[in-house]
Amino acid sequence: MEVEERYKKNIGTITEAEQQSLKTKKVFVAGLGGLGGYICEMLARMGVGHIKAIDCDVFEESNLNRQILCTETCIGSSKAQEAQKRLKEINSTISLDIKKERLEETSARELIKDFDIVVDALDSIDTRLILASAAKDMNIKMVHGAICGWYGQVSVIFPEDNTLKRIYGDKKGKGKEESIGNPPFTPALVASLEVAEAVKILIGRESSLRNKILLIDTLLQDYEVVDI
């Protein structure tokens, strides 16, 4: 089957067979803020066949600086509602399941059941650990990403790994972004790297970030991969 015109510019980077295989893949995205909006949009443009995403929040004016789904006209609107609308406008051929919902320990396993991969777009360590635990229990691979000011990090986690515990230890709550903020360029960069890793996993290519973490410093333009 010939690849649709909308995906022609993906070919060469990935093969036609890999592009067609993306139509059968299911990705769960936790969070629709700074990272999640970019992640969902890129997955839709790549042609991932089914995207499910959740976020319980509404847009606030302070989101305008970095969240691609946020516009002046949607302040006060549900992030999930705006995501559903935008993604449908971008790619009407894919299946979308975007809900206003919080990721809870009691519901996480059911939410991600039968998905090929989960992508972390969260801003809470506690919730990330819930997602990682659910992914481990359900035998699902996970892409982790986090942002903070000039800095970001990305890692790939297989079900048998214990990566987030090694990264965060006993830390809880929000990260340092509470005190040093988040500019627009950091989520755009980290989300792009998360999607690149997710696509590689979905099409069966090897990730170089398993049991490692990519540490990003856009102030000094320093990028380092560290073993975990």
The 3-state secondary structure of 35-99, one letter per residue: HHHHHHHHHHHHCCCEEEEECCCECCHHHCCCCCCCCHHHCCCEHHHHHHHHHHHHCCCCEEEEE
Token duo for residue 27: 């990705």
Rounded to an integer, the average pLDDT of 58-65 is 98
Are 208 and 227 within 8 A, CB to CB? no
Predicted confidence band of residue 178 (pLDDT cuts 50, 70, 90): low
The interaxial angle of helices 34-46 and 185-202, nearest 10 deg, is: 40
- Using the predicted structure, report yes or no on whether residue 179 has a pLDDT greater than 90: no
Distance of CA 46 to the CA centre of its chain: 14
Predicted structure pTM score: 0.96
Q: How many domains does the chain have?
A: 1
Summarised one tens digit per residue, pLDDT across range 13-41 is 999 999 999 999 999 999 999 999 999 99
* 46/98 Cα distance (integer angstroms): 18
Cα dihedral: 52, 39, 102, 107 (round 10): 50
- In this predicted structure, what is the pLDDT of residue 160? 97
Question: Residue 120's domain spans which residues?
Answer: 5-227
- Using the predicted structure, report yes or no on whether residue 175 has a pLDDT greater than 70: no
Q: What is the CATH number of the domain that holds 39?
A: 3.40.50.720
What are φ and ψ of residue 220, in 5° steps?
-100, 0
